[in-house]
Structure 1
């Protein structure tokens, strides 16, 4: 009976399924220690400056946070060279995605993007009565910008480019992306999801910041969950021209970023040493894992994120189960339509060594799987 009272669009939604929680795995496998390499968290943890700032902020949690996160918007403005008024801060990047789609999509409007990618584009489009238009990525797992342009109709309101893409870790060419934005019809808004943008190491590679400064119709999304190690605090933000950011400012709920999270984000931005340490270790450990995975017969390319998209040449759900029994959680990609692939986060040197050893043991039991 109660289901009959639901909004019709809610019936179309599938609940978001994250990587297995460490607590759940411990209980299920009867383990005391679990390494979670499924959700692309910063295994080094947050900056000591962020921890100090959050600890101090705990003394003031009886006060509401700043309504629009002015101090953080000001700091981001200094970092990127974009007016603080052109930002919206909210409860993680997924909340920002919700705000963008809620701000622009009417029933029947189309949202165009490629798959596999982050599932929240699909969910939030359906929730607003929009029409998801999903196109395959290219053979090398990149967003197919030409296909997106070709799929645009008069009903298209938003196109989304996840760059770097999740779960593939790929990026599109800078000039190709700039040309894509310039070719968009006037009735289409571009959304550039750069949750992993800080991990791109291509020299002088332009990001959403540059496109916004060039006046292109781009809403750029960033997060403090990945590079800055604040996944548990939920801080995300959007930046765009004044014209494009205005509806998000109207839709955004009051106090969307809590006081402790706001303080943590400010502290994280102050600690360039911790940020650089994260980037250096991520790059070093990624190279090591790529070498070890290829030695096991897996196919894997270098990624522009803090994870790898790995073709293990067999059912990764089975491998994930065996790894979980050893206290290692990875992310099978069958839900994205890639049953032989896994998305594996880059851990610390010790965690990665443990992972490689476990995979070598599993491979030794099934030597003819490739």
Structure 2
């Protein structure tokens, strides 16, 4: 019997695999280090702002996100017309591909990188062109340039790269953008930008101002700790930003999420203190792993990457036994978030024992 059939590309969409919660073990505090979440509670004033918004949940949110646009424009020093807000930076990926790609058009990105990229590309009927990262987990920008064809519409640069950790430098990015055809959109995905501590770090805002084909993706999910509310934003020059807004989901960002994001922007001092503490903890964990003998790519996000190959599942199981859950990528490696100090210490214990085995 005949029945409705989705488009063929829908059946090819990869499944997004979220970080799973830790296994509950009696007498042991478990730690979720699988989703790159911020271990701190909401910033001061956020719960109060969100509660006020909850009190009027019978009303639709401001579809134009006017107050959030104004707050972001003031904080970043950009026109509100150069902004787009969405339900997390994941939604922005879908919007961008939907706005700029016809079926069969190509999207070039490093791999392994953010696993939402191939999902969004396949959903739109476009074609993924995956360029392997280097042995150090870095973008191979020369190979990405070589992969651009007349069908390429978008190039994604995830910096710091999720899940491997390294970030590109401003000099590398400048050289790359200069060689990309002007009609190709260059995404600088900066979900973890607040955690970057390196020389010649990317200045995303200066880059967007200098290039009409550059769009920045940013999020409130990581440093700001609003992962549960889903708020992301893009910064791009007028025509690109307008295209993203044109394909956005009406009323997509809830009133509670808008209020929480605005309050989070107002708590910048506390935000910077927390981010710095996580960066210091990341450096401690990284240094300890290197001293053990692990080869860990330079971490510039709030996580570290273990290139484990076929031993990935064994490592994830060992971590689970110790009361921590990591994010395994079968046959490739495991990403481990920087979380509470005790959870990080357990990771070091697991890593040392695993290396010895």
Is the contact made by 1:297 and 1:312 (CA closer than 8 Å) also made in structure 2? no
Q: Distance in 1 between matches of 2:201 and 2:169?
A: 9
Shift of the 183–268 alpha-carbon distance from structure 1 to 2, 3 Å rule, reads same
Separation of aligned partners in 2, 1:16 and 1:214: 34
- Which whole-Å CA distance do the structure 2 matches of 1:186 and 1:135 have between them? 21
User: 2:350 & 2:161 partners in 1: Cα distance?
Assistant: 27
Which of the residues 155, 161, 168 maps onto 1:165? 161
Distance 1:122 1:313, change over 3 A: closer
Report the count of equivalent residues: 357
Compared with structure 1, are the counterparts of its residues 122 and 296 closer, same or farther at alpha carbon in structure 2 (3 Å cutoff)? Answer: same
**Any residues of structure 2 matched to 1:208-227 within 5 Å, and which?**
208-227=204-223
Which residue does 1:80 correspond to in 2?
76
Picking from 341, 349, 357, the partner of 2:341 is: 349
Contact 2:171 2:200 in 1 (8 A): no
Q: d(CA) in 2 for partners of 1:246 and 1:58?
A: 30
Cα distance in 1 between the residues matched to 2:309 and 2:140: 25
Contact between 1:68 and 1:88, CA under 8 Å: does it hold in 2? no
User: What residue in structure 2 maps to residue 303 of structure 1?
Assistant: 299
2:327 matched residue in structure 1: 331
Residues 319-338 of structure 1 deviation map (CA, whole Å, 9 limit, x = unaligned):
2112213321111232xx52
- SS of residue matched to 1:299: coil
Q: Structure 1, residues 70-116: CA drift from partner, whole Å, max 9, x if none? A: 11111111111110111111111111111111111101111111101
1:186-197 aligned at under 5 Å gives the runs 186-197=182-193
Determine the structure 2 residue equivalent to 1:6.
6
Deviation at 1:2, TM superposition (A): 8.7
**Is the partner of 1:285 in helix, strand or coil?**
helix
Could you tell me whether the CA contact under 8 Å between 1:225 and 1:231 is conserved in 2? yes
Q: What's the counterpart of residue 43 of structure 1?
A: 39
107, 121, 125: which one aligns with 2:121: 125
Gaps of 5+ in 1: none
Q: Over residues 299-342 of structure 1, what are the superposed CA-to-partner deviations in whole Å (9 max), with x where a residue is unaligned? A: 224311100112458713112112213321111232xx52xx32
Match of 1:174 in 2: 170
Distance change (3 Å), C-alpha of 1:139 and 1:321: closer
Gaps of at least 5 residues in structure 2 are none
Question: 1:274-299: per-residue Cα shift (whole Å, max 9, x none)?
Answer: 21122221122112212322343322
Partner SS for 1:239: strand
Is residue 319–residue 325 contact of structure 2 (8 Å, CA) maintained in 1? Answer: yes
Tell me the CA shift for residue 140 of structure 1: 2.1
Q: Is the 8 A contact 2:38 2:222 kept in 1?
A: yes
User: Are the equivalent residues in 2 in contact too, given 1:101–1:124 (CA < 8 A)?
Assistant: yes
The CA RMSD over aligned residues, in Å, is 2.1
2:287 paired residue among 272, 278, 291: 291
Deviates more, 1:32-41 or 1:252-261: 32-41
Distance 1:322 1:266, change over 3 A: same
SS state of the match for residue 244, structure 1?
helix
CA distance in 2 between counterparts of 1:219 and 1:291 reads 34
Partner of 2:56: 60
Cα contact 2:101–2:153 (8 A) shared by 1 = yes
Instruction: Report deviation, 1:193.
Output: 0.8
